[in-house]
Amino acid sequence: MTNAETPTIPLNQKKTIRAWALFDWANSAYALVISTAVFPVYYTSVMPAKIEVFGEMVTNSAVYSFAVSFSFILVALFSPLLSGIADYGGKRLFFLKVFTTFGAIACGALYFFTADSWLWFGTGAFIVGTLGFAGGIVFYNSYLPEIVTEDRYDKVSAQGYAYGYVGSVILLLFILVMNEKPAWFNLSDDTYAPRIGFLLVGIWWLGFAQLTFRMMPQDKKGPLPPSIIKRGYGDMVAVFQKVKENVSVRRFLIAFFFYSSGVQTVIYLATIFAKEELGFETGELILIVLILQLVAIFGAYGFAKISDLYGNRFSIGSMLFIWITICILAFFCADKTLFYALAALVGTVMGGIQSLSRSSYAKMLDDSIDDLSSYFSFYDVLYKLSVVSGTFIFGFVELLTNNMRYSVLSLSVFFVIGFVILQGVEFGDNPKRRKRKIVHQ
């Protein structure tokens, strides 16, 4: 829902759509370089193997996983408030600029993160960057109904995904070249390539975002309504009550929470596992992430086709079985060649399970646009909490066992629970059912 008093612009303008999609191009650099490909590996390489935290010695990878958990706890707590501001406060652009600016500056600040003496500086900058990324997405997504008509939601949302994929891969490839050929750039220190990469993410993110800021509808004048906090959190309470009354929706969300905990933890921590357990170098790890990105596109289309033929439960259930297999094989994996194969397998189900989860959920909702908006806000909060759950368990198991392989194996439990609960869900796989126009989450 949009605020009727917010200044509007003509719908379906190509210039506006391109400017909106460019924000995905801008901020996806954070998602790929910082959260997945480069920073997790760099973090564990500059830190000592064990770090003292509150008097206890904790592995550096566990500290990193707890930092991810803490970031998403904060985002989940504030997400309803941010959604309320986006929907009813008329201050989208101001807050989009604030979160983007703080997130980009935090990424740039990681350039100075050079040794364990900067541990809490680097960890804090990563947390702020994550908050900037996740907080900004709330406002970015909420612009879609203001720039295009409903019949173009899917197409324009996909355009944003495409821009984000291409932009982030371009920057990642440049960082890979710097890392593999430092002499070309007169880099004498091994840490320069990733650190310059972090700085470039901040510049890339904030720089390209300016084009988006210029073309989006301007904010409503005046202060925020005093009821905005109550409105945002009130929506979450109302949706929770509705979820309790709908058995299939409730079961699906519980299943989604568990298997999403496993999926998102793999996305955040796979490169650390490859480095720590299998000795992958930075260049090899970046190549793994590129494989994941490419294969994920084909996986999304492939499992969508399977869903058309056999239904959502079969398609998602098949992917969960593959995820369980991945966790078990990763536990025993001691060979780089096998891990490359596992990376391709992860890519196959990573794209499919995220896209089908969203579309499957939409099939179970009623025809009310208001309900659709509220239900997907609730879905987004649940997704963020799943990241907290998965990354915390990963770090906690490693803390108990001093063996990251047991952490990976523990993720299989999330997928098993999700698979079992999923069997009781009615998705409504009726091909004649009206297709939803779901906003890019």
CATH code at position 149: 1.20.1250.20
Q: Does residue 438 lie in a domain region? A: no
Residues 59-95: pLDDT tens digits? Answer: 888 888 888 888 888 888 887 777 777 667 777 888 8
| pLDDT, position 433 | 42
| pLDDT, position 374 | 62
Q: Give residue 402's domain range.
A: 14-422
Q: Does residue 9 lie in a domain region? A: no
Residues 12-59: pLDDT tens digits? Answer: 889 999 999 899 899 989 988 998 888 988 988 888 888 887 778 888
Q: Does residue 165 lie in a domain region? A: yes
Q: Which residue has the tokens 């992860």?
A: 346
| pLDDT, position 362 | 67
Question: At 51, which helix (H) or strand (E)?
Answer: strand 50-53
Q: Does residue 95 lie in a domain region? A: yes
Task: Please check whether residue 135 is in contact with residue 71, taking contact to mean a CB–CB distance below 8 angstroms.
Answer: no
Query: Count of CB atoms within 10 A of residue 36's CB?
Result: 24
What three-state secondary structure class fits 115? coil
Q: Which residues of the chain have pLDDT under 70?
A: 1-8, 86-87, 150-151, 153-155, 158, 359, 362, 365-376, 428-441
Task: Please check whether residue 178 is in contact with residue 33, taking contact to mean a CB–CB distance below 8 angstroms.
Answer: no
Q: Does residue 357 lie in a domain region? A: yes
What single string gives the DSSP state of each residue in 117-179?
A: GGHHHHHHHHHHHHHHHHHHHHHHHHTHHHHS-GGGHHHHHHHHHHHHHHHHHHHHHHHHHHH
| pLDDT, position 155 | 67
Q: How far is CA 424 from CA 249, 252, 383, in A?
A: 10, 8, 20
Question: At 198, which helix (H) or strand (E)?
Answer: helix 192-215
Domain count for the chain: 1
Q: Does residue 359 lie in a domain region? A: yes
| pLDDT, position 4 | 42
Q: Does residue 439 lie in a domain region? A: no
Rounded CA-CA distance 372/436 in Å is 9
Task: Please check whether residue 272 is in contact with residue 44, taking contact to mean a CB–CB distance below 8 angstroms.
Answer: yes
Q: Which residue has the tokens 């947390």?
A: 127
